[in-house]
Amino acid sequence: MTTLNQKQNEIKSLDSTFTTPVGRVVATEKNPNTAQSFCFWTNLDSPVGIGTIVRVLADRETKEVFGIVTDGISYTDLASPIHDFISCEGNPNEAEGAQTIRPEIRYYTASVLKSVPEEPIQPVSIGNVYLADDAAIRQSLRMDKYADETGIPIGLYVNGNNMSPVFLDSQFLIGPEAAHLNVTGVSGLATKTSIVEFLLTSIFQKFTGDKDGQNSKVAAVLFNVKGSDLLFMDQPADNLSEPELDMYKRMEINPVPFDKVQYFAPYKNDGVNLNTLRTNENLLHNVKALSWGLKEIFDNVQILLNKDDVDAKADAFLQFMKDKIIDVDKIDSFYCMHKKIENFNDLEDWFQRIFAESEGQEGNSEGKSFWRGHAIATIRKIYNRLTNITYRCQGLVTNDSNSQDLPWGQFEDRCVYVVDVANVIPLAQDLVFTRIVEKLREQLESKLLGVDKVIVFVDELNKYASNDSGNSYLKQTLLEISERGRYLGLILFSAQQFKSQVHKRIVGNCGTSIFGRMDMDELATQGYSVMPPTIKAELTTLEKGKLLIRHPHFNQYIFVRFPRPAVMTSHEGMNRFPAVPERTFEDAMVANFKRLAKDIKSTAVKELIADVDKNEVLRAFYETERKCTEKHLEFFKKILRKKPMREAFEEIHSPAPKVPSLDIEIDWS
């Protein structure tokens, strides 16, 4: 066991910053120390403040206690303000004439982070207070047990000139022990997105798998729900300052952007321009279309239907369609099938056959209202709802079978997949979220995705999983991830402005919480009742780049600083790579081909598509995009059916119908 002298010698061997006592623990009968908190005083020039981590070396025992300052007061020996008033004779200028300055102390309350030894649990003893050095910070936050193996740097604990890396435990951040991360903070400071980007960089560079080295492949799927926040993750930040680079160095992270990023965005209504702000020619190489047909969406079709419409009868009919009709190889004429139903065009055809058949039965008293046990009215309702999906989600949902999707089964390790749904309607957003997450879950469960863990980032969580709206499918999906995702390796990183407005079970399941600057109104809500008032006050004025962290290994809230992510900001990105206004059909096709291969000549594309029906061009292009990996233009040319465009009718005299000649000589005379 370490003796008191050994411990004192250990302290003396440290840098003088950490060997000079900065304060002293005090306890009174009215304000005693406990096993969880203690009080100490410091001089005015002491570098201690709210959030400072300190170590206490007890005077008379070998116990060492680490604590974090949660509250601080300052006072003089004045018993009442009136005394100072009398002293100054009511004139503030008289205070300058004071010959002696009243002693003023800083009196801090600290919460215990760790005691060494931890047992027995005893109140903190009187002793000197020292600033914590790197090793002490590791020990106090229990990071010494995992930092070297499963540590993920989240930022730096900064006190004066001292910067100590703070690590999250990957086992508790992305599973399997605990998982999920939630970020709360006011909008406009770019803190939420920045910390997620930084943390992803940190994870991608530092994560080495679970403790046994297994499950080391990780990817991220980010949903961009507003503006251009996540659209330049592959571009470097060119103006990181020296202090920021130092911070990276201290955490041993390379300040580089993500080298593998793929962007997905649905088309606009024209079916040819992508519905994203990442349309600059220089950035198109890794932008892909997101376009789904009937097969892709039918499993999640309930999302697109009005919940009130999907009663038991409608639900039964949808289930019937799923089992017997949609994408079923067996062509069963009993069910009015004449071919495999693969897309909305086929579906339309199928419905028309049902209606024709049911109309043909008219007059038959039994059969006129039902078809195969399903009410015609119900079928008509489903028909109505399904067939207008392609109009409501135009650009995302196509009539034909030309779907473009995420690379299911081929997810790459350390790759970021950004799905840009910022400019699509909420209904389509719901569909995108739900389907992608469901698909991720399915593939992770069956180990077919290509990676072991996927981090899903959803911003504006209070919009998508609010605690006061109804039970949306998306909310159910998010709940599912938060409750069972960690077993599968499906990790939810979420962010929002108002945590209090997010479903409790979702935030409750987040192992790690991060808080940026916050409104006092939000902090006054019930969810923050355990947070010390001074921490709350600090949060209301928190500067950019500073965050408050709660992690399972830390038994108190910890303030950390983090550098700006090493990726281009949305503002800078939009300046440098401005989005191209909506292109003409021809130009858009050129841009689309350039997405597939940069070296494709625009003139070649324009020549090929000239005088060809637009729909045919699109069909051929979609097929090229879906099936072809090289020599795209040749493939496109091969499959393009070059029918001339319908020309305008020219008003010319058609030749007169050939009248059979009558060999009758007519005598006109």
Partner 1 sequence: MLNDVKKYIAQKRKDGENFRVLKHYSDNESSEFYRANAYFCAGKAEFKEDISRPVRKVVRTENNISGFSYFLDGIQRSRPIFYTGMIPVTYGYCAAVIRNRADKIMKTSQFYAESQALYLPYKAKALKNQPEFYHDKSDFDAFKNIKLINTGVIDSNKEDIVENYPVHPQELILKANQELNNERSQLETNLAWEWVKSKSEGGWLFIDGPVSSICKNYKEYIKVFPNIVGVLKTHHTQYFSFADQEKIYKLKKGERSIVFRPDKQDVFSWYLRLHNPTNGDVNFGLIRIEIFADKKLLTRVDEISEWIMLETKPAAQPDSRWDRMIYPIRDCEEYLKSKAPTYTMIESLA
Task: Kindly list the residues in this chain that would bind partner 1 in the complex (CB under 8 A).
Answer: 77-80, 83-84, 86-88, 94-95, 97-103
- Which 3 state secondary structure label does DSSP give 319? helix
CB of 81 to partner 1, least distance (A): 11
CB of 39 to partner 1, least distance (A): 17
Backbone angles phi and psi of 288, in degrees to 5: -125, 155
- Which 3 state secondary structure label does DSSP give 402? coil
CB of 99 to partner 1, least distance (A): 5
CB of 58 to partner 1, least distance (A): 21
Residue among 554, 418, 508 at smallest CA distance from 179: 508
DSSP state letters, 499-514: GGGB-HHHHHT-SEEE
Specify the residue, 89 or 650, whose C-beta has the smaller distance to partner 1: 89
Contacts of 331 by beta carbon, 8 Å cutoff, 6+ apart: 337, 338, 339, 340
CB of 98 to partner 1, least distance (A): 4
Specify the residue, 128 or 164, whose C-beta has the smaller distance to partner 1: 128
Instruction: For 208-218, give one letter per residue: b (16+ CB within 10 A) or e.
Output: ebbeeeebebb
Residue among 373, 242, 388 at smallest CA distance from 313: 373
CB of 12 to partner 1, least distance (A): 24
Specify the residue, 101 or 662, whose C-beta has the smaller distance to partner 1: 101
CB of 23 to partner 1, least distance (A): 16
Specify the residue, 88 or 579, whose C-beta has the smaller distance to partner 1: 88
Q: Say if CB 566 and CB 255 are below 8 A apart.
A: yes
Burial class from Cβ neighbours inside 10 Å (0-12, 13-18, 19+) for residue 422 reads: buried
Backbone angles phi and psi of 76, in degrees to 5: -110, -170
Specify the residue, 103 or 236, whose C-beta has the smaller distance to partner 1: 103
Number of other CB atoms surrounding residue 552 within 10 Å? 15
Intra-chain end-to-end CA distance of the chain, in Å: 145
Specify the residue, 98 or 448, whose C-beta has the smaller distance to partner 1: 98
Number of other CB atoms surrounding residue 455 within 10 Å? 25
Specify the residue, 2 or 87, whose C-beta has the smaller distance to partner 1: 87
Pairing between strand 416-420 and 490-496? unpaired
Instruction: Give Cα 302 to chain centroid, integer Å.
Output: 24
Specify the residue, 81 or 644, whose C-beta has the smaller distance to partner 1: 81
CB of 129 to partner 1, least distance (A): 18
CB of 469 to partner 1, least distance (A): 58
Residue type at position 571 = H
Q: Say if CB 513 and CB 52 are below 8 A apart.
A: no
CB of 106 to partner 1, least distance (A): 16
Residue 299 DSSP one-character state = T
Longest dimension (CA), the chain: 149
Specify the residue, 43 or 476, whose C-beta has the smaller distance to partner 1: 43
CB of 93 to partner 1, least distance (A): 11
How far, in Å, CA of 31 to CA of 25, rounded? 12
Specify the residue, 32 or 117, whose C-beta has the smaller distance to partner 1: 32
How far, in Å, CA of 653 to CA of 631, rounded? 47
CB of 100 to partner 1, least distance (A): 5
**Structural tokens at position 237:** 């930040």
Q: Give the Å distances, CA to CA, from 661 to 96, 220, 657, 658.
A: 130, 81, 12, 9
Upstream peptide bond of 255 is cis (omega within 30 degrees of 0): no
CB of 96 to partner 1, least distance (A): 9
CB of 34 to partner 1, least distance (A): 21
How far, in Å, CA of 471 to CA of 476, rounded? 7
Instruction: For 588-619, give one letter per residue: b (16+ CB within 10 A) or e.
Output: bbbbbbbbbeeebeeeebeebbeebbeebbbb
Q: Say if CB 403 and CB 264 are below 8 A apart.
A: no
Specify the residue, 100 or 603, whose C-beta has the smaller distance to partner 1: 100
Specify the residue, 99 or 161, whose C-beta has the smaller distance to partner 1: 99
Specify the residue, 94 or 543, whose C-beta has the smaller distance to partner 1: 94
Specify the residue, 104 or 259, whose C-beta has the smaller distance to partner 1: 104
